């Protein structure tokens, strides 16, 4: 039996979010998907539901460049609360940036599992899901 996952996509690009959900639709089928446009909304959701296993995502696919609170700002705040959450959340930084400094900075966060260059294709997404 397949585990049901809660997947959270945090990106301000609505076209990218739409394209990603369509391109990996078969892998998302039956899983819960939450979409957020910035880190602040995501952090608010996590804080509101920090003790609710079902409401907390299993995976966060996090962009870097977003308004209000970017991916790095989100990670700085998230790492302060990660220990108090009801479950461990796996975070992947997913960005179109190929700047080596962004990659190094993303990987410097204890809570970041990996840095993935956009676009996130079906094979890579399937690999992420299989690692859980």
Q: Residue 4: what pLDDT?
A: 79
Classify residue 14: in a domain, yes or no: no
Q: Kindly report whether the peptide bond that precedes residue 22 is cis, defined as omega within 30 degrees of 0.
A: no
Encode the chain in three state secondary structure: CCCCCEEEEECCCHHHHHHHHHHCHHHHCCCEEEEECCHHHHHHHHHHCCCCCCCCCCEEEECCCCCCCCHHHHHHHHHHHHHHCCCCCEEEEEECCCCHHHHHHHHCCCCEEEEEECCCCHHHHHHHHHCC
Domain count, the chain: 1
For residue 103, what pLDDT is reported?
A: 94
pLDDT of residue 38: 96
Domain membership of residue 64 as a residue range:
34-111
In a domain, 43, yes or no: yes
pLDDT at 3: 76
Residue 10, domain member (yes or no)? no
Q: In what order do the strands lie in the sheet with 59-62?
A: 32-36, 6-10, 59-62, 90-95, 112-117
- Per-residue pLDDT at 1: 34
**Is residue 69 assigned to a domain?**
yes
Bridge partners (DSSP) listed for residue 95: 117
pLDDT for 2: 56
**Residue 56 belongs to some domain of the structure:** yes
Q: Tell which residue, 11, 16, 112, has the closest CA to residue 102.
A: 112
Which pLDDT score is estimated for 85?
95
pLDDT tens, residue by residue, 44-79: 999 999 999 989 999 999 999 999 999 999 999 999
Q: Is residue 71 part of a domain?
A: yes
Tens of each residue's pLDDT in the chain, 132 residues: 357 789 999 999 999 898 888 877 788 888 889 999 999 999 999 999 999 998 999 999 999 999 999 999 999 999 999 999 999 999 999 998 889 999 999 999 999 999 999 888 888 888 888 887
Please check whether residue 23 lies inside any domain of the structure. no
Task: CATH number of the domain at 45, please.
Answer: 3.40.50.2300
Distances, alpha carbon 15 to alpha carbons 12, 23, 122, in Å: 9, 12, 17
Asked if the structure places residue 46 within a domain, the reply is: yes
């Amino acid at each position: 039996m397949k585990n049901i996952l809660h997947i959270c996509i945090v990106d301000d690009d609505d076209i990218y979010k739409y394209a990603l959900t369509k391109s990996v639709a078969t892998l998302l089928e039956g899983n819960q998907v939450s979409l957020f446009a910035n880190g602040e909304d995501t952090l608010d959701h996590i804080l509101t539901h920090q003790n609710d296993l079902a409401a907390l995502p299993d995976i966060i696919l996090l962009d870097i460049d977003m308004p209000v609170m970017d991916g790095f700002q989100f990670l700085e705040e998230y790492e302060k609360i990660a220990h108090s959450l009801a479950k461990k959340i796996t975070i992947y930084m997913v960005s179109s940036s190929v700047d080596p400094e962004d990659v190094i900075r993303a990987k410097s966060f204890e809570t970041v599992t990996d840095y993935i260059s956009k676009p996130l294709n079906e094979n890579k997404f399937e690999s992420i899901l299989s690692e859980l």
